[in-house]
Structure 1
Amino acid sequence: MSYVRDPWLPDRLLRTERDALMPLLRRTPEASFQSRTACPGWTARQVLAHCGAALVRIVEGRLEEGVFLPEANAADVAERESWPLGRILDELERGFSEAGPVIAETADGTLDAVALGEWVHAGDVREAFGEPGAYCGAASLELALPLLSVTSRERETPRLVAALEDRPSPVVLGNELPDRPPARYTGDAATLIRLYSGRPLVRTRYELWGATEQELLIYR
Structure 2
Amino acid sequence: MTTPADVHDVRDPELPGRLLAVERDELVPLLRGRADADFALPVAACPGWTVRDVLAHCAAAFTRVRERRFEEGVFSPEANDRDIAERAEWSDQRVVDELERGMTEAGPLIAGAGGALDALALGEWVHAGDVREALGEPGAYAGAGLPYALTLLAQVTGRRGHLPLHADLDDADEPLRLGDFSGERPPARYIGDGPTLVRLYTGRPVRAAAYELAGVEAEELNIFGG
Structure 2's unaligned 5+ residue stretches are: 1-5
1:95-174 equivalences in 2 (<5 Å): 95-107=102-114, 109-137=115-143, 139-174=144-179
Q: Does the 8 A contact of 1:151 with 1:218 survive in 2?
A: no
Q: Does the 8 A contact of 1:158 with 1:177 survive in 2?
A: no
Superposed displacement of residue 141, structure 1: 0.8
Percent identity of equivalent pairs = 57
**Residue 175 in 1 paired to residue 180 in 2?**
yes
Q: Does the 8 A contact of 1:157 with 1:215 survive in 2?
A: no
Structure 1's unaligned 5+ residue stretches are: none
Distance, in Å, in 2 between the alignment partners of 1:77 and 1:213 is 31
Aligned to 1:193: 198
Alignment root-mean-square deviation, CA: 1.4
Deviations 1:45-81 (A, max 9, x none): 1000000000110011111121112211111011111
Distance, in Å, in 1 between the alignment partners of 2:197 and 2:31 is 25
Letter in 2 for 1:172: R
Deviations 1:153-201 (A, max 9, x none): 2333211011111112111100125332110001111110000010112
Q: How many residues align?
A: 218
* Pick aligned residue for 1:17 from 23, 26, 29: 23
Deviations 1:10-40 (A, max 9, x none): 0111111111110000001110111111111
- Matched position secondary structure for 2:145: helix
With the length of structure 1 as denominator, give the TM-score of the two structures.
Answer: 0.95
* Pick aligned residue for 2:11 from 5, 18, 25: 5
With the length of structure 2 as denominator, give the TM-score of the two structures.
Answer: 0.92
Aligned to 1:66: 73
- Matched position secondary structure for 1:172: strand
Q: Does the 8 A contact of 1:191 with 1:204 survive in 2?
A: no
Q: Runs of at least 4 residues of structure 1 off by over 6 A?
A: none
